[in-house]
Amino acid sequence: MIDIKFLRAEPDTVRENIKKKFQDDKLPLVDEVLTLDKEFRESKSRAEYLRSQRNSLSKQIGMLMGQGKKDEAEEVKAQVSSMAGELEELSAKETELSEKIDKIMRVIPNIIDPSVPIGKDDSENVENERFGEPVVPDFEIPYHVDIMENLDGIELDPARETSGNGFYYLKGDIARLHSAILSYARDFMIDRGFTYYIPPFMIRSSVVNGVMSFAEMENMMYKIEGEDLYLIGTSEHSMIGKFINSFTDEDKLPLTLTSYSPCFRKEVGAHGIEERGVYRIHQFEKQEMIVVCKPEESMQWYEKLYMNTVDFFRSLDIPVRTLECCSGDLADLKVKSCDVEAWSPRQKKYFEVGSCSNLGDAQARRLGIRVRPSDKSKGNYLAHTLNNTVVAPPRMLIAFLENNLNEDGSVRIPLPLRMYMGGKSVIEVPAK
């Protein structure tokens, strides 16, 4: 969400940004909001004039009454009364116009960073860098569910009975591996100076509207019937929401947080839900990282955040690459974003396991996340917010199992995970 003052001063820049995101249908919104904004400011100016006149006339009434000029005082009172009616109308008009402007401003996309590649959709995203050497073993890598079933670690049929497609039961060593990865991710981020949180798993609509666009909300979030509560799609939602209507002293920035949560997603869209697989599902768990910082530091933190994920995966010997999201693939609130993709030996290609985003001051503007400057002569300003996935099993399990699979079906456990797996160095195939 951009600043109305910026749109007022730089409408052509806003239009050009809309074109770069291939959302030409939104171009008329710029003129629409400018017209509404002009009407709003004129209405506000008229109201301020009337209040000034009313105050002046009210003083006259007292003077006239004191001078015994009751008839003249009554005439002035009548003028004041007529002003009250117009002021009431203007107040209602201002509220209506303000709501219309806010609704449109939430639809106009944020200004993207100049470094973002221009492209229509994710097919035009650009590879940045690779980390680790992709390996394809000389034996066949089975589908990830087959690997897990061979290790007696997943049950899909009972989950379909209890919950439908997009759900699963993990069990035994695979369930333990799932938890081990999350525990390691938690400690990995704590060791990098991030404060660990477990946030609320439901949030109010005021927070939802602050952290994401309406279209994203409709496609992702489950609403609790009869209550103003939504199940979170990621802990970023409640963690950013934690700062709603807040003031943070500048010398306390940056705030670096890492949070665990389950995540609930409708996964509405062309990709659908796999009937047999755990790549795209309705329920999963995730370790996230969130930063609230000064505007001039947000791009530095953006690079640090995605490198944290790269370092995490490389510590488990999983090759990854970073993929810069092009303009058409950026959600409207984002200034810049990249995906971290892990190598799949089975598919012989990379696939997404995490996403890092710099949202500039968009979320802060919606939620009122402000900073008190150290220099008291300067005014308060909006913080910048960023988020990134540390790890999201079970999707990460796919990369882990494929890259650590032995020919006999057993799975190697890298050293960093062994302490969370009771010292095990391998998950063996159980005897039939």
Confidence of residue 61 (pLDDT cuts 50, 70, 90): low
Report pLDDT for 267.
73
Q: How far, in Å, CA of 365 to CA of 69, rounded?
A: 53
Short-list 81, 30, 31, CA closest to 53: 81
Answer yes or no: is pLDDT of 191 > 70: yes
Q: How far, in Å, CA of 121 to CA of 184, rounded?
A: 34
Report pLDDT for 270.
43
Read off the tokens for 416: 């960093």
Report pLDDT for 73.
65
Q: Identify the residue with better confidence: 202 or 395.
A: 202
Q: Contact, 80 vs 57, CB < 8 A?
A: yes
In tens, the pLDDT along 339-360 reads 999 999 999 999 999 999 999 9
- In the chain, DSSP finds a helix count (H) and a strand count (E) of 14, 18
How many angstroms separate the first and last alpha carbons of the chain? 58
Read off the tokens for 328: 């058409």
Answer yes or no: is pLDDT of 326 > 80: yes
Report pLDDT for 350.
96
C-alpha dihedral over 359, 331, 283, 388, to 10 degrees? -30
In tens, the pLDDT along 353-384 reads 999 999 999 999 999 999 999 998 899 999 99
Close Cβ partners of 306 (under 8 Å, ≥ 6 residues apart): 322, 338, 340, 356, 388
- Give the start-to-end residue ranges of the domains of the chain: 4-105, 122-427
Span 127-147, mean pLDDT? 95
Q: What is the pTM for the complete model shown?
A: 0.89
Q: Identify the residue with better confidence: 233 or 75.
A: 233
Answer yes or no: is pLDDT of 273 > 60: no
Answer yes or no: is pLDDT of 180 > 60: yes
Please state which CATH number belongs to domain 122-427. 3.30.930.10
Is residue 88 helix, strand or coil?
helix
Same fold, 4-105 and 122-427: no
Report pLDDT for 74.
65
Q: How far, in Å, CA of 70 to CA of 55, rounded?
A: 19
Residue 255's Cβ-count burial label (10 Å; 0-12, 13-18, 19+) is middle
Q: Identify the residue with better confidence: 191 or 78.
A: 191
| Ramachandran area for residue 394 (φ above 0: left; ψ -120 to 50: alpha; else beta) | alpha
Report pLDDT for 218.
75
Q: Rg of the chain's alpha carbons, rounded to an integer?
A: 28
Which DSSP symbol is given to 118? P
Q: Name the amino acid, one letter, at 311.
A: D
Close Cβ partners of 136 (under 8 Å, ≥ 6 residues apart): 345, 348
DSSP per-residue string spanning 366-395: HHTEEEE-SSTTSPPEE-EEEEEEEE-TTH
Confidence of residue 249 (pLDDT cuts 50, 70, 90): very high
Farthest CA pair distance, the chain: 108
Q: Contact, 356 vs 302, CB < 8 A?
A: yes
Span 162-178, mean pLDDT? 93
Q: Contact, 247 vs 292, CB < 8 A?
A: no
CATH architecture of 4-105: Orthogonal Bundle (1.10)
Report pLDDT for 266.
87
DSSP per-residue string spanning 157-172: HHHHHHT-TT--EE-H
User: Pairing relation of β-strands 369-372 and 246-249?
Assistant: parallel
Cis peptide before 254 (omega within 30 of 0): yes
* Alpha helices by DSSP H, 27-171: 27-66, 70-105, 144-150, 157-162
